[in-house]
Amino acid sequence: MASGTASIDHFWAVIPAGGAGTRLWPLSRSSEPKFLHDLTGTGRTLLQGTLDRLAPLAEERVVVVTGRPHRDAVRRQLPDLDADWVLAEPSPRDSMAAIGLAAALLERHDPDAVMGSFAADHVIADPDLFADSVRAAASVARDDWLVTLGIEPAFPSSAFGYIHLGDPLPGHDAATAVAEFVEKPSVRTATEYLATGRYRWNAGMFIVRPTVLLDLLGRWHPEFAATLRTIAAAPERLEELWPRLPKIALDHAVAEPAADAGRVACVPSAFRWEDIGDFDSLAALVGGDAAQTSVLGDAGLVHAVDTTGLVLPAAGRVVAVIGLDDVVVVDTPDALLVTTRARAQDVKQVVAELKESGRGDLT
Amino acid sequence: MASGTASIDHFWAVIPAGGAGTRLWPLSRSSEPKFLHDLTGTGRTLLQGTLDRLAPLAEERVVVVTGRPHRDAVRRQLPDLDADWVLAEPSPRDSMAAIGLAAALLERHDPDAVMGSFAADHVIADPDLFADSVRAAASVARDDWLVTLGIEPAFPSSAFGYIHLGDPLPGHDAATAVAEFVEKPSVRTATEYLATGRYRWNAGMFIVRPTVLLDLLGRWHPEFAATLRTIAAAPERLEELWPRLPKIALDHAVAEPAADAGRVACVPSAFRWEDIGDFDSLAALVGGDAAQTSVLGDAGLVHAVDTTGLVLPAAGRVVAVIGLDDVVVVDTPDALLVTTRARAQDVKQVVAELKESGRGDLT
């Protein structure tokens, strides 16, 4: 029997480690995406923090799926991981291919497996609550549900998709059916969602038996599922077959149609969750709403006078900031960003400019 | 006879090159003060620009007085200067000592000398008008006046001292007597000054026969004048005698009492003059009031989106600035400043902090 602290039998943690984090430039680069950075000031990178949360549940049963350029960095950051389970995608083909590859391999490797997929670049403040939710979800998943964790919305965000909760799930007190997944709403619509109490943030966390996931995929994308299973049976064909896989998110390929088919369950969860999409959300995470300058890194380098906002002195240089509110200063060895929390999203405009002007090496 | 383009007989240009320019940190440092920098984007430093203006008037008769740590940099920037006339002060003792030393040496070297003293870190937009004024002043100085150039005020500044013009000077149409020098006024008082038409900015430009300057100094500070003359007669005693000289500005030591004694004349001048005291005045000089981002340096490094202000990409790194008005970003290899034009004066607070916290090496 699983206790509150033991690992979960045959539970495999799958960590897709992809995405460049363009809006966190110049800290995050295509050569060094955000999951490789310590964005929380804890001394652990987002990837390491993700493993730290999952290892008590999965023990050694951890699979990381990452881009080929990042495989060495992942192995350096997670030296205790079995190298065979650090899977390198030949090219980026979105989350269905990445998670589906892990599912197809696990289906053959451990017929009793329940897998849980958790992005490498999320931040979760309450690891015990998280573990409780995953435990509950794994138990539901054993009954062949595709299970997602439903994050309690902290505010009516327009940046996330939502899970519309359905009826209670017979036999599983901790779970409900999922009526549908809804796309990122307006703030107004999100406010209406929150008022009903029946909507949760979709953090893209799925717990499912590998065979169930692949069989569901096979209902709507039969060739996709078949190709993944072919690769798992003959890994030497990865290079040849990978480019044929569609570029599609797991949400669109499986979760949404499966919800319509009544095959998705949700475990509403209470842990605090952050997807650090830009420097505004990073500033909120690091400093809250305190009327002061937050420093991520060596605070001794920063001299702030009458300033609020976020400073990242990542180049080792002294950074002086005087008389600016909600400013964002990101100092790296080869590029500097100065903006405000309100304009943090527009960093991607600069990244696009740099690519166009032949300075893609900096992005 | 002096024509409009010829040099002035026996005219010696004296350039005191001192002052750290603390409010232009981190560009200007005690190790590399502002006069050594190209702040105008012309490819010439302020010191070189000063020489460029004076060389047509003085030919080879140029004396630079600088701090010992800057002597080599001055000689590198002004390679054609006679090295014997790059005077190195053993320690900083304010402007009277610096200019007085040059006067004492010139008094012995050229009995017919008229010297003109011009700071190394000013910017003058109209070199021909400047030359005309110096010509007129030199002519007045030959009649044993201490002559100052009176800058037409561009606005009622509270940052400069003012020259209160007195009666016309008999025999010199271009000049008037100076009634008095007045300290930096309030903006309100400055506005009243401008309304009278009888006040000029005091830019600390003095044209005078060396003997007249030293004799005037001797009236109020006899030992000061005597010591300077002793050093000039026995240069090997510089090290011994220099520390005895009072730390006092020429304005206070000589110009103000001499005006009270009716010995100072002013040549009202029309050239545009800038004393770049901080990044706000530098922004005004470089960009005017244009609603855009001014770049001093390689504009290709700067990516500005919806931003006004001044960016100095002096570290060779890409600088991205998004959504900030009247911002000042100064990027140097070991220190970064981010502030606004309105707060530019407060840079000195950071410099003081750095010294206190043991990072005086950066100041």
- Mutate which: B279, B338, B340, B347, vs A, most A CBs within 10 A: B338
Please report, for residues A87, A346, B40, B288, the alpha-carbon distance to residue B282 in angstroms, rounded to integers and kept in the order given: 55, 28, 8, 9
Contact A350 B305 (CB under 8 A): yes
- Assign 3-state DSSP to chain A and report helix, strand, coil percentages, each to 5: 40, 25, 30
Q: Kindly identify which residue of chain B lies nearest to residue A327, measuring between CA atoms.
A: B324
pLDDT in tens, B301-352: 999 999 999 999 999 999 999 999 999 999 999 999 999 999 999 999 999 9
Look up residue A29 and give its DSSP letter. B
Contact A343 B322 (CB under 8 A): yes
Q: Which residues of B touch A317 (CB under 8 A)?
A: 333-336
Confidence of residue A1 (pLDDT cuts 50, 70, 90): very low
Give whichever of A32-41, B1-10, B17-26 has the largest mean pLDDT: A32-41
How far apart are the C-alpha atoms of B191 and B153, rounded to whole Å? Answer: 10
Nearest CA-CA distance, residue B320 and chain A, Å: 5
pLDDT in tens, B120-152: 999 998 999 999 999 999 999 999 999 999 999
Above 60 in pLDDT, residue A354? yes
For the record, the structure tokens of A82 come out as: 């079995």
For the record, the structure tokens of B71 come out as: 């002597």
Query: What was the ipTM of the complex prediction?
Result: 0.83
Alpha carbon of residue A195 to chain centroid: 27
Contact A318 B338 (CB under 8 A): no
- Which one is predicted more confidently, B139 or A289? B139
Q: Collect all residues from B whose CB is shorter than 8 A from any CB in A.
A: 26, 303, 305-306, 317-324, 327, 329, 331, 333-340, 342-343, 346-347, 349-350, 353-354, 359, 362
H or E segment and range at residue A354: helix A347-356
Contact B324 A338 (CB under 8 A): yes
How far apart are the C-alpha atoms of A132 and A270, rounded to whole Å? Answer: 10
Above 90 in pLDDT, residue A22? no
Which residue among A317, A320, A354 sits closest to B350, beta carbon to beta carbon? A320
**Number of residue pairs across A and B with CB atoms under 8 Å?**
115
CATH number 3.90.550.10 given to A11-275: yes
How far apart are the C-alpha atoms of B165 and B189, rounded to whole Å? Answer: 16
Q: Collect all residues from A whose CB is shorter than 8 A from any CB in B.
A: 26, 303, 305-306, 317-324, 327, 329, 331, 333-340, 342-343, 346-347, 349-350, 353-354, 359, 362
Above 50 in pLDDT, residue B1? no
Q: What torsion do the CA atoms of B281, B282, B288, B293 make, to the nearest 10 degrees?
A: -130
- Which one is predicted more confidently, A126 or A291? A126
Mean pLDDT of B4-26: 90
Q: Which residues have C-beta within 8 Å of that of residue B234, sequence separation ≥ 6?
A: none
Mean pLDDT of B73-80: 97
Other residues' Cβ atoms within 10 Å of the Cβ of residue A11: 24
Q: What is the pTM of this model?
A: 0.84
Contact A323 B336 (CB under 8 A): no
pLDDT the model gives residue B295: 95
Question: Contact at 8 Å (CB) between A353 and B301?
Answer: no
pLDDT the model gives residue A292: 86
Q: Which residues of A touch B321 (CB under 8 A)?
A: 337-339
Which residue among A331, A346, A354 sits closest to B322, beta carbon to beta carbon? A346
H or E segment and range at residue A252: none
Q: Which residues have C-beta within 8 Å of that of residue A263, sequence separation ≥ 6?
A: A145, A146, A216
Contact B321 A338 (CB under 8 A): yes
pLDDT the model gives residue A90: 95
Mean pLDDT of chain B: 94
pLDDT > 70 in chain B, percent: 98
Q: Token pair 């002559």 is at which residue? A: B147
Contact A336 B331 (CB under 8 A): yes
Query: What residue segments make up the domains of chain A, in order of their start?
Result: 11-275, 279-362
Q: What are phi and psi of B69, to 5 degrees?
A: -65, -20
For the record, the structure tokens of A137 come out as: 């979800």
Confidence of residue A289 (pLDDT cuts 50, 70, 90): low
Nearest CA-CA distance, residue A359 and chain B, Å: 9
Above 60 in pLDDT, residue B274? yes
Contact A343 B323 (CB under 8 A): yes
Contact A338 B347 (CB under 8 A): no
Nearest CA-CA distance, residue A324 and chain B, Å: 7
Q: Kindly identify which residue of chain A lies nearest to residue B334, measuring between CA atoms.
A: A317
Which residue among A322, A342, A350 sits closest to B343, beta carbon to beta carbon? A322
Sheet holding B293-295, edge to edge: A302-305, A318-322, B335-340, B327-331, B309-313, B293-295
For the record, the structure tokens of A8 come out as: 């979960």
Q: Which residues of A touch B324 (CB under 8 A)?
A: 324, 327, 338-340
Contact A338 B346 (CB under 8 A): no
Side-chain half-sphere CA neighbours of A168 within 13 A: 5
pLDDT the model gives residue A2: 43
Mean pLDDT of A291-298: 90
What is the separation, in whole angstroms, between the first and last Cα of chain A? 49
Contact B324 A340 (CB under 8 A): yes
Contact B322 A354 (CB under 8 A): no
Region class of A302: left (phi > 0), else alpha (psi between -120 and 50), else beta: beta
Mean pLDDT of chain A: 94
Question: Contact at 8 Å (CB) between B161 and B181?
Answer: yes
How far apart are the C-alpha atoms of B310 and B306, rounded to whole Å? Answer: 13
Contact B334 A347 (CB under 8 A): no
pLDDT in tens, B147-177: 999 999 999 999 899 999 999 999 999 999 9
Question: Contact at 8 Å (CB) between A338 and B327?
Answer: yes
Nearest CA-CA distance, residue A157 and chain B, Å: 23
Give the amino acid at B282: L
pLDDT in tens, B205-235: 999 999 999 999 999 999 999 999 999 999 9
Q: At what angle do helices B94-109 and B210-220 cross, to 10 degrees?
A: 130
- Which one is predicted more confidently, B289 or A285? A285
How far apart are the C-alpha atoms of B59 and B62, rounded to whole Å? Answer: 7
Contact B338 A320 (CB under 8 A): yes
Q: Kindly identify which residue of chain A lies nearest to residue B335, measuring between CA atoms.
A: A318
Mean pLDDT of A151-166: 95
Nearest CA-CA distance, residue B280 and chain A, Å: 13
Q: Which residues of B touch A349 (CB under 8 A)?
A: 305, 322
pLDDT in tens, A78-102: 999 999 999 999 999 999 999 999 9
Q: Kindly identify which residue of chain B lies nearest to residue A352, measuring between CA atoms.
A: B303
